[in-house]
């Protein structure tokens, strides 16, 4: 097995010129938006019948009922291995503690009362009433994604959570995924996936009640569908598509660490991106040798080989400054700094979904336990978006109050600007109140 990673030498690239040398990451172009739009329109027109037909077409499963009953969820929970339940419950507790702490931090910074010049403004955050979470299926089961999407919503105060997950060959979602839903008290579950699930949550059907916001990762069809329904429901700013990782290493890094961590993201399947970044060419050679062993001994060798063939890269950088520039242009979902001197790089990284610092911190720690959601920005959207958080499940509103004794200067300022803009009703609305404050008729 040779040339697992496509080599790109950036050492002679001038400062500010890296972007032009990067491969295109707009995976949305690989999907026909017309096809996704047709799926959405079919669900809007035909509702549950379209969902069943698409499940047969795409998931190769015939279902006669979309919802998963509470009895089926309980049965899945009882059939899940005790060790898995214990691990999920421990992870849920740790994730919830992190999200609660972050929520409190945000409250202290957001729920403010500001008094100045006679105006008192109280700003507060209100939870969205009803949200939908999308949990991938098919190639793997993802009970962890239930934790990483639902817990921030629950901490934010969301009262209604609807969950969509594709069915397996037996017509049911994975029992571990349903067990995670039961652990969190989620009882509204539908056995549908893909773009059709996004359409159902956005527009509703006879069975599926529409939501106000949709979160959760998925393949490119799911991601494009979320973009297409974004005028109907809230969609967090990140493109949460196929997985990405950038692993930075040097001569001191164990090549086995690097190889397995590249495989961690690549084993999710096609369309993902896995970058090895180093300033030493000998490091790349050693890692590739370890990577050959990892792939040949993996039960998911086909997924790994496919992802590395289409999205595996080895980048040779000039120095740590150029490594930082490269990272900020790639804007990876996951960034692993598997170097002892990660403190020289991490403070300068401004575009990354999450940063794992040091050789002993693989992305798997963040995927399952650390606390921040593993629903992260992909496809370079880390340039303007971050991890899913409690803030994505809230909206901000403000209460504005004016004291009578401070009204006069405010009214004069507002009236002057309104007159300048030619908006006489605006000016009059403060003018008549100013007269009242002055005791004039």
Cα separations in angstroms, 407 against 48, 113, 122, 432, 433: 57, 18, 18, 12, 9
Orientation of helix 194-203 relative to helix 220-228, angle to 10°: 20
CA 317, CA 166: separation in Å to the nearest integer?
42
Instruction: Catalytic residue, from 188, 333, 336, 374: name it.
Output: 333
Instruction: Catalytic residue, from 268, 288, 325, 334: name it.
Output: 334
194: phi > 0 → left, psi -120 to 50 → alpha, else beta; which?
A: left
334 is catalytic: yes
CA 407, CA 120: separation in Å to the nearest integer?
12
3-state secondary structure 308-368: HHHHEEEEECCCHHHHHHHHHHHCCCEEEECCCCHHHCHHHCCCCCEEEECCCCCHHHHHH
CA 284, CA 282: separation in Å to the nearest integer?
5
CB 135 within 8 A of CB 105: no
93 is catalytic: no
Q: Which is nearest to 308 in space by CA: 260, 336, 274?
A: 274
The alpha-carbon radius of gyration of the chain (Å, integer) is 26
Cα separations in angstroms, 313 against 11, 16, 326, 362: 15, 20, 13, 19
Secondary structure class of 154 (helix, strand, coil): helix
> Which residues fall within 8 angstroms of residue 68, CB to CB, at 6 or more apart?
172, 173, 178, 189, 190, 191
> Which residues fall within 8 angstroms of residue 346, CB to CB, at 6 or more apart?
337, 355, 357
Q: Which is nearest to 257 in space by CA: 390, 359, 328, 364?
A: 359
Report, as residue numbers or ranges, the catalytic residues.
Answer: 333-334
């Amino acid at each position: 097995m040779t040339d697992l990673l496509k080599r790109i030498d950036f050492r002679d690239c001038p400062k500010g010129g890296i972007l032009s040398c990067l491969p295109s990451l707009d995976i949305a172009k690989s999907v026909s938006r017309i096809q996704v739009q047709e799926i959405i329109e079919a669900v809007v027109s035909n509702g549950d019948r379209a969902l069943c037909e698409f499940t047969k077409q795409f998931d190769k499963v015939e279902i006669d009922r979309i919802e998963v009953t509470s009895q089926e969820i309980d049965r899945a929970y009882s059939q899940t291995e005790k060790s898995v339940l214990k691990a999920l419950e421990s992870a849920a507790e740790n994730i919830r503690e992190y999200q609660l702490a972050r929520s409190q931090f945000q409250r202290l910074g957001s729920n403010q009362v500001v008094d100045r010049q006679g105006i008192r403004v109280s700003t507060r955050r209100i939870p969205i009433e009803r949200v939908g979470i999308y949990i991938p299926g098919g190639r793997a089961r993802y009970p962890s994604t239930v934790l990483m999407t639902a817990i921030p919503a629950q901490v934010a105060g969301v009262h209604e959570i609807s969950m969509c997950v594709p069915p397996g060959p037996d017509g049911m979602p994975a029992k571990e995924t349903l067990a995670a839903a039961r652990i969190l008290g989620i009882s509204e579950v539908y056995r549908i996936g893909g773009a059709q699930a996004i359409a159902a949550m956005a527009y509703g059907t006879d069975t599926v009640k529409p939501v106000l916001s949709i979160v959760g990762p998925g393949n490119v069809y799911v991601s494009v569908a979320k973009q297409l329904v974004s005028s109907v429901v809230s969609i967090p700013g990140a493109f949460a598509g196929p997985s990405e990782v950038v692993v930075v290493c040097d001569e001191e890094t164990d090549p086995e660490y690097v190889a397995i961590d590249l495989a961690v993201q690549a084993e999710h399947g096609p369309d993902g991106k896995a970058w090895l970044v180093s300033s030493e060419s000998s490091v790349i050679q050693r890692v590739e040798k370890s990577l050959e062993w990892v792939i040949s001994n993996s039960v998911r060798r086909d997924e790994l080989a496919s992802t590395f063939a289409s999205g595996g890269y080895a980048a040779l950088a000039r120095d740590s400054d150029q490594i930082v520039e490269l990272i900020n242009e790639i804007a990876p979902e996951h960034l692993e700094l598997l170097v002892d001197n990660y403190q020289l790089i991490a403070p300068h990284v401004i575009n990354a979904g999450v940063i794992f610092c040091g050789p002993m911190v693989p992305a798997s720690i963040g995927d399952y336990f650390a606390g921040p959601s593993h629903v992260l920005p992909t496809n370079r959207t880390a340039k303007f978006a971050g991890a899913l958080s409690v803030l994505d499940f809230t909206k901000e509103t403000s209460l504005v109050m004016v004291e009578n004794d401070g009204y006069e200067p405010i009214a004069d300022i507002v009236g002057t600007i309104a007159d300048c803009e030619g908006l006489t009703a605006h000016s009059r609305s403060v003018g008549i109140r100013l007269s009242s404050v002055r005791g004039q008729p």
